[in-house]
Every structure is written in structure tokens, then in C-alpha cells.
């Protein structure tokens, strides 16, 4: 069949479909345009966060459940780091590649994420955690699964471990979110190697702090296995520590790099097809990407934290006077 015949048949099908629903072609085109304009900037990124979180947390849970005793933290560290690098490289152009509520909060606070997407991102990540943990349970041997608490974090067994664990989670999450914000969001410092730098940060944190707190750094990673295995012992630590670390990251970036944060979020405001040579995570490179549209961060109702911080610095002398 020739190209002309194929185009003619396609046009005929479209006209017949429009006629069947008694819709004018112009009206149908408007409806399709509106659907696409909603799907690409709002629904598509959430789907990417859901799928990426599920794949990442599935891999992380399996690395813990099937971890031989003689490897220690090495297998979980490599599995978490490599899996995170891959999903960021795959989905970074669509959603920014967060897969972690703490990362989403820190990116929002520095002005890199629309407030409209913050809660949907977190919900998608938590649902992805449930899916990933459920898949891990479905293919694991029951004996290994229950010995590892389903991949949930069971490192903390007594109250004396709580304070060191919170501090460890806070510092390790600060390291992770700093890698994300400075390596993939900030226009001045972001790099093509950001996905791998972020993955290496996770691997290093697991190797360094796995024995202290389990090195979660991700409330979604803690929530999914805890819900599936019904293991909630000291679960709150894996929310308080990472979220505190995310807040500290935003404060540090606001106070030390405020001059360079003015362009944050601009890479989300135009189609990727107009960003020549963009590669995963919106980073400068040599590749060409599909014409997707990232969320528009210019419509945020609340100012990013760095603007509030800068305003406070300007008002402080007057307040003292």
C-alpha cells in the first residue's frame, strides 16, 4: 500500500469517527489538543514517577531479601545505586527523575517543581513503592522474605539507636538531595553525569550508613515494604530523617548559591523538542529527545524558598534599625 493510500485511509477513518460522534473536525481537534495539554505536563510525569519508583523499589527490596549473609551491605548498595541511576536516565526527561518524596520536596523548595505536582508526585512514589514491594514479595522465597522483613528497614531494634539513626538519615539524605539539586537542577552546576552521580551517592550512603539506620533516604522506599510486610517498627524515623535532610538542603542552597538559582525550573517550561541536544534528566548533551513538555514551574503560587530567604536578607537591616 502506498503512502498516499495510507494517508487517505487514515483521513477517512478520522472523518468517520468524528461523524459517528457528531463532532465537528475543528471541535475534535480542540478536544484532542486539550487532552494532550493536560496529559503531557501533569499526568505523564506522575506515571513516570510511579513506574520508576516501582522498578527502583522492587530492585532494592530484592537486593535485601535475597542478600547472602557474607556480602554485607555491598549487594544492597550496588543494587540501589545502579537501579536509581538507570531509572533516572530513563525517566528523567519526563518527570525529572525524583522517585523519592524527600527529593521532590527539596526540588520544590528551591523552585524546580510546580506546587501543583508536589502532592501527586509523592502519591505516585508511594504507590510505586507498594507495587515494587508487592512484586518482590510475589517472587521471593517465603523463608527469605520473612527473615528480611520483606525488605523493610529493621536495623533499629532499640530506643538507643533512634537518635543516631535520625541523624544518619538526615545527613545521608542531605548528601543525596544536594547531589540531585546541584547535579541535575541548578543550571550552573548540573552535569551530564548527574544520574550516575546520584546513583553513586546512594551506593556510598548505603555502604557508609547501612549498619546505623539501614540507609533509607527515601520515605517511599520505607513505606512500600513496611505496608506490604506490615512491619512498622520505628517507621517514622524514615520520614523525619529524610524530610529534615531535604529541608536542610534547600536552606543550604538558598544561603550559598542564591545567585545561581534564578534559572531553576526553566528547563521545564518549553518542549524538549525545542531544547537542542538534551539528554536524560534535562542535561546538556548530544542526543535528541521526543517532543514532550515538562511541567511549567513559572505558575507556582508560592515563591521558592530562595526568594523568601533573599527577601529576608534585604529586610533584616531595616528591622534592626
- pLDDT per residue as tens digits for the range 203-232: 999 999 999 999 999 999 999 999 999 999
DSSP 37-73: HHIIIIIHHHHHHHHHHHHHHHHHHHHHHT--GGGTT
Give residue 284's pLDDT: 33
- pLDDT per residue as tens digits for the range 94-105: 999 999 999 999
Average pLDDT over residues 77-87: 96
Of 31-35, 90-94, 231-235, 245-249, minimum mean pLDDT range? 31-35
Distance CA 46, CA 40 (A): 10
Distance CA 198, CA 96 (A): 13
Give residue 23's pLDDT: 64
Its sign, for the CA torsion 131, 136, 138, 144, is: negative
Give residue 122's pLDDT: 97
Q: How confident is the model at residue 4 (pLDDT cuts 50, 70, 90)?
A: low
Give per-residue burial for 310-321: e unless 16+ CB within 10 Å, then b.
beeeeeeeeeee
DSSP state, residue 268 = G
Using the structure block, give the residue that is written with the C-alpha cell 537486593. 63
pLDDT over 70 percentage in the chain? 69
Give residue 236's pLDDT: 96
Cross-strand pairs, 278: 284
pLDDT at 107 over 90: yes
Distance CA 259, CA 10 (A): 53
Best CA proximity match to 199, nearest among 55, 80, 73 = 80
Mean pLDDT across the chain, nearest whole number?
79
DSSP state, residue 183 = I
Question: CA 318 → CA 30, 230, 306, distances in Å?
Answer: 53, 54, 20
Q: How confident is the model at residue 68 (pLDDT cuts 50, 70, 90)?
A: confident
283 versus 34: the higher-pLDDT residue is 34
Cross-strand pairs, 284: 278
Query: How much is the pTM?
Result: 0.73
Task: Classify domain 39-320 at the CATH class level.
Answer: mainly alpha
Q: How confident is the model at residue 69 (pLDDT cuts 50, 70, 90)?
A: confident
Give residue 46's pLDDT: 96
H or E segment at 90?
helix 74-95
pLDDT at 137 over 90: yes
Question: CA 262 → CA 142, 164, 196, 206, 298, distances in Å?
Answer: 52, 36, 25, 33, 11
Best CA proximity match to 126, nearest among 145, 104, 111 = 104
H or E segment at 279?
strand 278-279
Distance CA 145, CA 276 (A): 47
pLDDT at 292 over 60: no
Instruction: Give the cell for residue 93.
Output: 526527561
Give residue 28's pLDDT: 64
H or E segment at 11?
helix 3-20
Distance CA 85, CA 248 (A): 23
Which residues have CB under 8 Å from 286's CB, separation 6+?
Answer: 277, 279
pLDDT at 117 over 70: yes
φ/ψ of 22, rounded to 5, equals 55, 50
Amino acid at each position: 500500500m502506498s503512502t498516499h493510500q495510507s494517508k487517505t485511509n487514515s483521513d477517512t477513518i478520522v472523518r468517520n469517527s468524528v461523524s459517528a460522534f457528531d463532532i465537528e473536525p475543528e471541535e475534535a481537534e480542540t478536544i484532542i489538543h486539550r487532552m494532550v495539554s493536560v496529559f503531557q505536563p501533569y499526568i505523564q510525569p506522575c506515571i513516570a514517577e510511579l513506574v520508576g519508583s516501582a522498578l527502583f523499589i522492587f530492585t532494592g527490596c530484592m537486593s535485601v531479601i535475597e542478600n547472602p549473609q557474607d556480602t554485607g551491605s555491598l549487594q544492597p548498595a550496588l543494587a540501589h545505586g545502579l537501579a536509581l541511576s538507570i531509572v533516572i536516565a530513563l525517566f528523567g526527561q519526563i518527570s525529572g527523575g525524583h522517585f523519592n518524596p524527600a527529593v521532590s520536596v527539596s526540588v520544590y523548595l528551591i523552585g524546580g517543581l510546580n506546587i501543583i505536582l508536589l502532592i501527586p508526585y509523592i502519591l505516585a512514589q508511594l504507590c510505586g513503592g507498594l507495587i515494587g514491594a508487592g512484586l518482590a514479595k510475589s517472587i521471593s522465597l517465603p523463608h527469605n522474605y520473612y527473615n528480611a522483613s520483606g525488605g523493610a528497614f529493621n536495623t533499629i531494634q532499640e530506643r538507643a539507636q533512634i537518635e543516631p539513626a535520625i541523624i544518619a538519615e538526615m545527613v545521608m539524605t542531605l548528601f543525596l538531595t544536594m547531589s540531585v539539586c546541584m547535579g541535575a537542577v541548578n543550571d550552573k552546576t548540573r552535569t551530564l553525569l548527574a544520574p550516575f552521580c546520584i546513583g553513586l551517592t546512594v551506593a556510598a550512603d548505603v555502604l557508609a550508613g547501612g549498619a546505623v539506620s539501614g540507609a533509607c533516604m527515601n520515605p517511599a522506599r520505607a513505606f512500600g515494604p513496611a505496608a506490604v510486610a506490615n512491619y512498622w517498627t520505628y517507621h517514622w524515623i524514615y520520614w523525619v530523617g529524610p524530610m529534615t535532610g531535604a529541608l536542610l538542603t534547600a536552606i543550604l542552597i538558598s544561603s550559598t548559591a542564591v545567585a545561581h538559582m534564578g534559572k531553576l525550573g526553566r528547563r521545564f517550561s518549553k518542549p524538549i523538542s525545542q531544547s537542542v541536544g538534551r539528554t536524560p534528566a534535562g542535561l546538556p548533551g548530544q542526543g535528541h529527545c521526543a517532543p514532550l513538555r515538562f511541567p511549567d514551574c513559572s505558575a507556582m503560587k508560592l515563591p521558592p524558598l530562595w526568594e523568601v530567604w533573599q527577601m529576608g536578607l534585604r529586610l533584616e537591616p531595616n528591622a534592626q534599625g
